[in-house]
Amino acid sequence: MNIRLKRIQPDDLNILASLFVQNDVSAITDTFNPFPLNAETAQWIACEARLDRFYIAFLENTAVGFSMLRGWDEGYNVPSFGIFIDFRFHGRGLGSLVLEQTIEEARKAGCEKMRLSVYANNPAALAMYIHKGFIETERVDTMHLGHPDQKIIMIKGLT
């Protein structure tokens, strides 16, 4: 499958806003919730200067996902990875492909490692991250969607 990752620029605003609004559904927001998936957030990501990096994933000419490397704007040296794949494209292996390309983007940016957090009740994502070489460093008990859960912090070395 030919997935293309594009760093988001101001001219991507409409595509990003559409992707966010269409994926503001529980199939996505139950596991991806760093910020609201709406047009205002799309504007903030696409149009404001920042150190953090945000990407749209395209399958041919269709936007099918979003990934990010965040934390530089807040002064962290190790970026936090986040991802969602458009709910209409789940189950096709796109998450793994977008993760691989985002890891390469982190390497190009000179990162020595990257981190992520994943809920324990998301076993498919957890298995993917383990398969791609992320190592668990911490578990934090939390409430998620009204139920006890654990947030798992993972790190991957990139050098």
Q: What tens digit of pLDDT does each residue of 78-134 get?
A: 999 999 999 999 999 999 999 999 999 999 999 999 999 999 999 999 999 999 999
Task: Report which residue type is found at 141.
Answer: D
Task: Report which residue type is found at 100.
Answer: E
CATH code of 26's domain? 3.40.630.30
3-state SS assignment for residue 115: strand
Please give the model's pTM, rounded to 2 decimal places. 0.94
- Closest to 50 in 3D by CA, of 7, 110, 15, 103: 7
Q: Which residue has the tokens 């912090």?
A: 153
Our count of domains for the chain comes to: 1
Residue 1 CB partners (closer than 8 Å, separation 6+)? 59, 92, 93, 94, 97
**Could you write out the three-class secondary structure of 85-98?**
ECHHHCCCCHHHHH
Phi, psi (5° rounding) for residue 7? -65, 135
Distance CA 81, CA 154 (A): 10
Which residue range(s) make up the domain with 74? 3-157
Residue 58 banded pLDDT, cuts 50, 70, 90:
very high
